[in-house]
Structure 1
Amino acid sequence: MELPKFLLADNTDYADSIFILHTEFPRFIINLVDDEVEWLEDLRDTEEDELQNEVIGLIQQAEEFYDREMKRYEE
């Protein structure tokens, strides 16, 4: 099965949260309300500087994905 790079997630137990799942390495879930990130990978062996730069870009892409999805819902 081919998964999209980002998925929008919802859970009524966390009604005030907006979750975005990143399905490619490094996989993570971000709550856009408070920018809390939960990693789904073991990142101990990853270059810290390289990972930090990549993560900043991925979080920005997750935010852009959410904005795009919300515009599509409005249409």
Structure 2
Amino acid sequence: MNLPKFLLADNSNHPEDIFVLHTEYPRFLINLKDDEIEWFEDLSNENEQDLANELEGLIEAAGVFYDAEMEGLE
């Protein structure tokens, strides 16, 4: 199966939260409401500066993905 890079996630126990799941390495779930991130990878062996640069772009891309999905629903 070929998964999309980002998926919207929903949970009825957290109706105010907006979750986006990143399915490629490094996999994570971000709550766009407060930018809290849950990592699904062990990132301890990664170069911190390279990782920080990549993650900044991925987090921004998650927000862009969400905005595009919401525009498509209007």
TM over 0.5: yes
Shorter-chain TM range is over 0.9
Distance 1:38 1:47 in 2: 19
Q: CA deviation at 1:29?
A: 0.3
Q: Which amino acid aligns with 1:54?
A: E
Aligned amino acid, residue 17 of structure 2: S
Q: Percent identity?
A: 59
1:1-75 to 2 correspondences below 5 Å:
1-74=1-74
Stretches of structure 2 that go unaligned for 5 or more consecutive residues are: none
TM-score, with structure 2 as normaliser: 0.99
Name segments (4+ residues, structure 1) moved above 6 Å: none
SS across alignment from 1:34:
coil
SS at match of 2:13: helix
Amino acid at match of 1:9: A
Q: Deviations over 1:32-69 (max 9, x none)?
A: 00000000000010110000000000000000000000
TM-score (norm. length: structure 1): 0.97
Query: In the comparison of the two structures, how many residue pairs are matched?
Result: 74
CA distance in 2, matches of 1:73, 1:11: 19
Letter in 2 for 1:51: L
Q: CA RMSD in A?
A: 0.3
